[in-house]
Structures are given as C-alpha cells and as structure tokens.
Structure 1
Amino acid sequence: MTVVDTNLNAGVLASLPAALRNDAALTSLLGTVDGTVAVPEVARAVAIAALAELSGRRPIVVACPTSTLASQLADDLTVLVPADEVALFPAWETLPFERVSPSVETMGRRLEVLWRLQDESRTPRIVVASMRALLQQLGPDTPSVSPVIVRKGDTLDPDELLRALVNGGYRREELVEHRGEVAKRGAIIDVFPSTADAPIRIDLWGDEVDRLTTFSVHDQRSDVDLDEAVIFPARELVLSDEVRDRARSLVASEPWGREQWERLGEGALFDGMESWLPWLTA
C-alpha cells in the first residue's frame, strides 16, 4: 500500500512559482501592455501564480475561453497560492434574453468579487473569469453593492434588517430552505445567504443579536455558533428607486414590455427579471 502525503505534495507545488522568479519570458511581461509568452497548458497555473508574485499589482485578471476552464484554473491556482488570494468571477448560466434568472449563488459570488475589488485590503491577488463573465452587463448599482454584516452583540432594528435583505433580492418565506430566502418568526430571523453553504439564524434579545448560528434546513435545528455573518445580495439587479423609476418610464416608451415594466416599477421579484437589464441601464 502506498501512502501519499498530500500536505507534502501541496508544499512542493506551492514552491513552484518561486522557481520562475528569474524566468526572462515572465519578467519581460512586467510593465508591458501587450506582451506575449507561450506557456504549455500544464504549466499555466504555475506561470500565472509566478507572475502574480512578481507583480505588485492587484489583481491580475485571467480571462479564459469558457467557464469550465476558468473554474478548473481557479482550482489549480488555490494549490499554488492561498485560497483567499484567488477569486473566481462566474458567468451567468442563462443565455442572453432568456427569461430565466441565474442561480442565486452565481449572482452572490459575482457581487462578492466586485465588493472585494472596491477595497485594496480585501482585493484578491488573482481573479479568474471566462470571457462571458467579463462581458456580462452589470446592473446600475451592482459595482457599489455591499453586503449586510451582522455580528454577535450588534444592536439592530429587525424590520430594517428584513427590509435591507428584501431590497437585496431575498424572498420572504415561512420557512427558509434555499439560498436567497429569509423568514422571521418572533425574535428569530432566518436567512440563507447567497454565497453560504448553510443558512444562518439570527436570534434577537430585543434589538440585540443574542446568538448567531448556522442551522440545518432538514430539521431547522441550530448548528454552529458564529461571531459574524456576511450576507451578500441575492440579485444583481437591485431595484433601487432609480431603477424602479426607469422601469415605470418605459411603460409609455416601450409598451410591448408593459407587464414587466410595471412589475419592476413596483419592486416585485420574479424569475427572469435580470434579462431586462439592457433597458434598465440605458
């Protein structure tokens, strides 16, 4: 039986980018606008990690032909550099003008990356994206969207918190079971963040966050205690007052879409609403 030390292998792989620090082809790219270097496919992740280490700029954006290649490259890079220094900027799974919304997780992940890019202290070293992800049109307020952050011991207004989550695209439900849902039962607010693997329970004592935990969607029982919850919006199309006004103005100028304009103008959430972005960003 052969025993493989995965930690040792990971350590060896992580040391590879440093071996390319003095590579003439890579160092020649620094400071150029249109430099070119040919790298075998199996060595691309190592070369990109080395280039990121050599460059003082953040981030290096890596554009891939497809989402599959982008995801694979991002996974490879996390072996070579710290995982939190690599961010995958995903593409919508939907086709242009398809009347179906992208997954809540995809929209949340995109917003998380954009939020990280707003502040140098949290900007990842490498952002990997497919061409489709980079070309996808953003909502009017998307670049400036921030998460709702809740910490144990915080004092907050439950109604204001609910309003902020609903404005961020969360659906109010009796019971939280899927990403993008929020529910209030007495002094408890349950929410399934768009980027989380488990829903979060906010247990209030008056206006104070008494307890913050994850919980199971199967039996609804609290699980792991948390100190902080970072809740990104569940929609890229944030129905701000400006967006709603724009939608209402389209009722007269673009009457063929009257039903959708009226729903958007009222602040209603519905499947496929993101497909109307081109008209709302004009």
Structure 2
Amino acid sequence: MFELVSEYKAAGDQPQAIRELVHGLHEGRRYQTLLGVTGSGKTFTLANVLARVNRPALVLSHNKTLAAQLYSEFKSFLPNNAVEYFISYYDYYLPESYIPQTDTYIAKDASINENIERLRLSATASLLERRDVMAVASVSCIYGLTAREDYEEMCIPLNVGMTLDRDDLLRKLVEVQFERNDTAPERGQFRVRGDCVEIYLAQKEEYVRVEFWGDSVDSISRCELLTGRVKSRPDHVMIFPARHFVMPQERINAAMDGILAEMRTQVRMFESQGKLVEAQRLYQRVNYDVEMMREIGYCAGIENYSRHLGGRAPGSRPFCLLDFFPKDYIMIIDESHVTIPQLQAMYKADRNRKQTLVDHGFRLPSALDNRPLKFEEFQSLLGDVIFVSATPGKYELELSEGQVVEQVVRPTGLLDPPVEVRKLEGQVDDVIEEIRKCTESGGRSLVATLTKKSAERLSDYLCELGLRVKYLHSEIDVIERVRILSELKRGDFDCIVGINLLREGIDLPEIKLVAILDADKEGFLRSSRSLIQVAGRAARNAEGKVILYGDVVTDSMKSLIDTTEERRKRQAEYNEKHHITPRTIIKAERETITDVMGLSSGTESPSKVTYSNREFEEEAAAFAVKEERAAYGSVKKRTKKGKVARADSKNLEGLDFEEIIAELEREMLEAADNLEFERAAQLRDRIRSMTDQTGG
C-alpha cells in the first residue's frame, strides 16, 4: 500500500486534478494527460493519485537530471514505499564500432558507476518482492535486460531451518555473479568464515550473515555495512543476482549450439562472396566467445548474444525493465512533449552503428537484436498512461481523446509572470540594465539566445562589464549543468545565458527574470511551446517577469501572451476568493544526480586527485552518464570569463601533469561526442600510457 507523507494538503487545482485522474484510472481510460503549469505541484498530485489507486508505477523522464529531481521528490512524499531509480549506469561509454574507410576497429570501452548499478538492481529486486513500487527511470529502461523469468529463476531463497549444504550455497552464489573475497568484501561479493557465510548484497548497502549448523541454515541476520550491527533476524531472505545479465548454465549450453550454427551460416555466406577476411574474423571471434562462455559462463560483449541466450526468435523485441512490472502498472511520462520524440528516435540510431559491425564480420546478425525497443514495441508494453506536460504534443492529446486534466492554479498563489514585449534595437543594453536591477533585488536571471555563438559572445561581454555570468549550451555535460544550476541557486553567480537548455523542469524559485532575445524569429527555439516552457522558469518567484525582444509579435509570442493572461486571471480569482497572497517558496536542496551518482562536492574524484570546487565540476562532468547518445559527453575548460576554451592537444606547454591529462581527456570526450571513435581511442591509449608510466 502506498502511504503519502506530507505536511501539505492538496490545494489550488490539485484536488480536482487528483479526482479526475483517479476517476479516469478507475473507469479504465488508458491514456490521460495532466496539463500542469510550472510550480503547480504536479509531483505532489501524482503521489496522491498513486496513494489512492495503489498500483505500481514507472515514471519516465527524458533526461537524468530531471529523473534525479523526481526521484528525490517522490521519495519525500512516499518515504515508506519502494521509490526506485533506474538510469544508465555508465560513467562513460565508448561503443564498439568499426570504421571501414581506415579499417579501424574500436572495442567497447566503458566504466560502470557502482552506485547507479546498485540502484538499478534495487529497482528490479523491489519489483519482484513487492507491489508498492514507483520506479523513476530515464529512457535507458527500454534497453535490454535479462528476462524476468530467468532473473527470478536465478534468485536464491534462504530460510531458517532449510536443508542446504554450505558449499552448495557458495556454488550458487558464484553462478549468480557473486565473487568470493575473504579479506575485504564489497558489494556483490561474499566472505566465508567456517560455518558462517556473509553475503554483501548487490542492491543494498548491507550484508546478510548466514550461519549453518551441519547441513541446515541455523540463523539469518541482516547487518549494517559500515558497523556490522545486526538490523534484523528474518526467517526468510531472497538473494538476488549480483548482475542483471545472468543466465542458468543449461540455457547457456543450449544457446551455444544456436550461436555456432548462426556463425557457420554467416561464414559460408562471407566465403561465397569472396570476403575471406570477414569470414575468418567472425569464425575466430565467435569461437573464442563460445569457449569463454563454456568455461566461465561469461564473455566480453555477451549482450550481443542475448537473442540466443534468451531463446528469442529472430527480430523479436528484447526484454527490458517494463517486463518486470505487473500488467496493471501505471506509466507516467514526464515532459511528454520531449520524451515521446526521444523514444521514437532511439532504435534507428542504435541500428546504424551495429549494422556496420555485422557487415564486416565483427558480430553475428543476431547482435542487431540487442537493441532498444522500437516505439511500437514500447507502446505494446504500456499499461495505463498519464502524460505530464505544460505543453503536451499532438500525440498525447490525440491518444487522451479529451481526457486532459488541467492543473493551472497554484496552491502557493503564484501568478504566471507578466510578459512584456520590447523592441529589438538596443536589446543587449536593455537586458544588461534588467540583469543589474534583478541582481540588486536579490534575484537571478536567465537570458535565452538563438545560437551557441551568440550565447558565448554575450556571456563574455557581460563578464567584461563585471556581471557574474555563466552560459549553458548543448555540449555542456549533464553533471556540470546540474552544478552550474546549483551554483546559480546558491548565488555564486547571478545570470545564466543559454539557448534551449533553460526549459523543462528547472526548479529555481530564485529566478526573477527571463529575457528572450530575438523572440520574433519563428522556429523551433521560438515556437509557442518553447516560449511557454522558457517563460515558465520565472513562474516560481512572486516577482518573476518575462521580457520578449522583437519588432513583430509573432503567432508564438501572441500564444504565450494570451495563455499567460488567461492563467493569471484564473490564479488571481482563486487568490482573491481564498485570501491568498502570492509568495515565493524556496525549497530545501534535494538530492541531485551528482548526489545519486556519488559525485557530490568534497568527495574524491574518480581519478583520485584533489581538486578545487570548480575543477571538481569538470572532473565530475567527465564521468557523467551519456545514455541519450550512447557516447562520451564533452568536458570543457573554463576561462575566467566563463568562456569555454578549446585548446589543441599539441599546445600543452606550461601545463603540469594533471592539467595535461585533463586536457587530453577533454579532447578524447569531445572526439567521442563527435563520433570520431578512432581519434578518441588514440587519445584514450595515450592517457593510459602516460598514467601507467607515472604509476597513476
């Protein structure tokens, strides 16, 4: 049972929204849309809905930053339930690829964030054990996992009094990817001390002590990881596999026959086409992988054989997190106007890279079935769906068939920020004056430009005038982006200049001013939906305002102005009726993605080098997850003016060792981000060579 814990009561449009959504779910409406404005408490509304319908839920977010924010908020509202977090667990990820033009093969290179892996394992464990589960996930949830049935089969149930030989338990633990470590065991390992086996759980920060008396289990204890204090002595415990990709040995043995048969067919095809190099390459690769699976039950890149291991038919969809949910689960798609298009595009992007590997004998054709879900397959796995957006798209509105629940009136009494239109001439001078006024009153500012170059130039100019400014653009990593926003919230600087990064889900009540330059240039960045989203960033402050700079009032600008006026009128009527004075609500800082990933300020960076706060931001960014493009992100070095410096790797004179390594890492990440995998691999090898020589 979901249990809502909050000092607040539903107010504004929340009570009606909760009633309508719950009614729709009870009436069997498969698709509903919650049209909720910024600051209206959509998360609180959804938590109330779940508490009333008591059904498992998956909240899908289009990026990890918002997923972390949602995870933190839902945990605060549902502290006694299983609120889980499921995003890509790669700190960095260089995909396997082949460049035919230069005959260059680049092996997969990745680093897994153990904290994120633990949270992912916790999510699947909760889904197998209980129903009061809400999982907040990014789009990585549509990538392949072991089938739920196989995963359940590999779980190890332990009961006090059961007959079980100690050595049999040890063998079972090894089969599910646990490792023995009798000295200093960590997560996913176990220690043996006589008749006592200590199992360090993969999905929790605790270990299970199992004591034997002869061939039976005498006692089971759950212990704190740090202190060893016994938390409880249950009669039953379930040990879940230490990895998601596990398979019974019998299934592996059966799959190997299918893998070898497919290999022989593909080799004959290559030989008939005169492609002897490809034939020999595939023959050696597959035979080596099969031998590894036979000997140790695992091989590098085993996920490429997932179709055979899972017993799936050619072309069939992979199993994924959605398969772990019961049929009556609720899918909540946050910022659906962005998330839906992202889901629709993921399959083709993955397919193109793997097809090259197959064509040149690096992978079997069945590797193409190790992929994200196609959008049609994703749709087939949906339960009841609630789309959530301030600006829902055509797709959501059509499916909802009129079941659009509005949440426009805010419990806080805050009105949508008033919108002013000013002329283009002198827009920069005018925005400088407005930023200064905003700063003097203790507020923060957001300035939206049309291009990255103009954002960079403007931020440089503002810095030269003595304003404390930073800018955001598409190449700034998600971790650094979160840190920049946190600094803005703390008042370390006063203004952010950006392009289209100032939109969905930025929860900063300190923002008093949103200035949109060149607002009359119709296009994606100045569409009605984009303008409404950007303007919404000032909606959490009672003194917030929006300035549009343009010589012509476009249809998109008019839509924003009309929508704002209509919402302000509704909110003002509500405030007058309930005697509410609008006030800015400054929330306590919640967990961000950097906290969840274990990259909080003041901790050691992954390379174990001590850094200042700003340098740590860059190091944290270098180890961020890159699931949207399945490649490295970019790490940039900032100048005193806040400008990104693009240094050539040859120009390293005068830098110390750590700075050289940081610069090479930056270029490596940038090359991978541009899909220049050959250059990225060369830089990676150079970094490894240098660190090996110095004992790093």
Q: Flag whether TM exceeds 0.5 (same fold).
A: yes
* 1:164-243 mapped onto 2 (5 Å cutoff): 164-213=172-221, 222-224=228-230, 226-228=232-234, 229-240=237-248, 241-243=250-252
Cα distance per residue 1:104-145 (max 9 Å; x no partner): 5255224314413xxxxx212533221212x02122444544
Query: Aligned letter for 2:77?
Result: L
**1:194-252 Cα distance to aligned partner (Å, 9 max, x none):** 1121333222222333344456878xx85326313432111222231113321353245
**For each residue in 1:32-80, what CA deviation from the matched residue of structure 2 results, as whole angstroms up to 9, or x when unmatched?**
2232222235422112112223435x22321111233223212211222
SS in 2 for 1:236: coil
| C-alpha distance in 2 between matches for 1:258 and 1:192 | 34
In structure 2, the CA distance between the partners of 1:278 and 1:180, relative to structure 1 (3 Å rule), is: same
Asked if residue 150 in structure 1 is aligned to residue 145 in structure 2, the reply is: no
State the alpha-carbon separation in 2 of the partners of residues 262 and 247 from structure 1. Answer: 9
How far off is 1:275 after superposition? 5.6
CA distance in 2, matches of 1:248, 1:107: 31
Question: Secondary structure, in 3 states, of the residue corresponding to 1:22?
Answer: helix
C-alpha offsets along residues 134-183 of structure 1, whole Å, 9 cap, x if unaligned? x0212244454464343445443212222222221112333352111123
Aligned mates of 1:27, 1:237 — CA distance in 2:
37
SS at match of 1:195: coil
Q: Look up the match of 2:139.
A: 131
Q: Distance in 1 between matches of 2:125 and 2:296?
A: 23
Give the partner amino acid of 1:67: K
1:62–1:126 CA contact under 8 A, matched in 2:
yes
Go from structure 1 to structure 2 and tell me whether the alpha carbon gap of 1:73 and 1:223 turns closer, same or farther (over 3 Å shift): same
Letter in 2 for 1:38: L
Aligned twin of 2:77: 80
Aligned to 1:22: 16
Q: Structure 2 CA distance, aligned partners of 1:186 and 1:18?
A: 63
Tell me what 2:68 maps to: 71
Tell me how far 1:189 sits from its aligned partner: 1.3
Give the Cα–Cα distance (whole angstroms) in 1 for the partners of residues 68 and 211 of structure 2. 36
Measured in 1, the distance between the counterparts of 2:225 and 2:79 equals 31
SS in 2 for 1:261: helix
**Equivalent position SS for 1:265:** helix
Instruction: Map 1:260-279 onto structure 2 (within 5 A).
Output: 260-269=289-298, 273-274=302-303, 276-278=305-307
CA distance in 2 between partners of 1:101 and 1:112 (Å) = 23
For 1:6, the equivalent position in structure 2 comes to none
- Tell me which residue corresponds to 1:59: 56
Report if the CA contact (8 A) 1:212-1:225 is conserved: no
| Distance in structure 2 (CA, Å) of the matches to 1:177 and 1:18 | 52
Counterpart-to-counterpart distance in 2, 1:215 and 1:143: 25
In 2, Cα distance between equivalents of 1:179 and 1:173 = 10
Instruction: Please give the secondary structure, in 1, of the residue aligned with 2:36.
Output: coil
Query: Against the structure 1 CA distance between its residues 84 and 17, is the aligned structure 2 distance closer, same or farther, given a 3 Å change threshold?
Result: farther
Pair 1:278–1:156, CA change in 2 (3 A): same
Name 1:5's counterpart in structure 2.
none
Q: Residue 217 and residue 12 in structure 1: after superposition, are their counterparts in 2 closer, same or farther (change >3 A)? A: closer
Pick the aligned partner of 2:125 from 92, 105, 112.
112
- Distance (whole Å) between structure 2 residues aligned to residue 213 and residue 201 of structure 1: 5
Partner of 1:12: 7
User: Is the CA contact 2:154–2:240 (under 8 Å) kept in the aligned structure 1?
Assistant: yes
> What CA distance in whole angstroms lies between the structure 1 residues aligned with 2:296 and 2:247?
6
Conserved 8 A contact 2:58-2:134: yes
Tell me which structure has the larger Cα radius of gyration: 2
Kindly indicate whether the alpha-carbon contact (under 8 Å) linking 1:85 and 1:124 is maintained by their aligned counterparts in 2. Answer: yes
Describe the shift of the 1:17–1:178 C-alpha distance in structure 2 as closer, same or farther (beyond 3 A): farther
Is the 1:201–1:213 contact (alpha carbons within 8 Å) kept by the matching residues of 2? yes
| Structure 2 counterpart of 1:188, one-letter code | C
SS at match of 1:179: coil
Corresponding residue SS for 2:206: coil
- 8 Å Cα contact 2:154/2:176 also seen in 1: no
Please tell me whether the aligned partners of residues 177 and 217 of structure 1 are also in contact (alpha carbons under 8 angstroms). Answer: no
Q: What is the aligned partner in structure 1 of residue 34 from structure 2? A: 37
Structure 1 residues 29 and 217, CA gap change in structure 2 (3 angstroms): closer
Check 1:86–1:153 CA distance in 2 against 1; reply closer, same or farther (3 A cut). Answer: same
Alignment of 1:85-104 (within 5 A): 85-93=82-90, 95=93, 98=108, 100=110, 102=112, 103=114
Letter matched to residue 253 of structure 2: R
Letter aligned with residue 134 of structure 2: I
Change (3 A) 1:46 1:259: same
The answer to whether structure 1 residue 280 and structure 2 residue 274 are counterparts is no
Residue type at the aligned position of 1:53: A
Can you give the 5+ residue segments of structure 1 that lack an aligned partner in the other structure? 1-9, 117-121
**Are the aligned partners of 1:29 and 1:36 in contact in 2 as well (CA < 8 Å)?**
no
Q: Aligned partner of 1:246: which letter? A: A
Following the alignment from structure 1 to structure 2, what is the Cα–Cα distance between the partners of residues 115 and 193? 16
Distance, in Å, in 2 between the alignment partners of 1:214 and 1:47 is 36
Measured after TM superposition, the shift of residue 269 of structure 1 is 4.3
Aligned mates of 2:81, 2:221 — CA distance in 1: 23
RMSD: 3.5
Distance 1:174 1:139 in 2: 29
Question: CA distance change for structure 1 residues 130 and 84 in 2, over 3 Å: closer, same or farther?
Answer: same
1:249 aligns with 2:258: yes
Cα 1:165–1:204 change in 2 (3 A) is same
- Count residues with an aligned counterpart: 263
Separation in 2, partners of 1:78, 1:230: 24
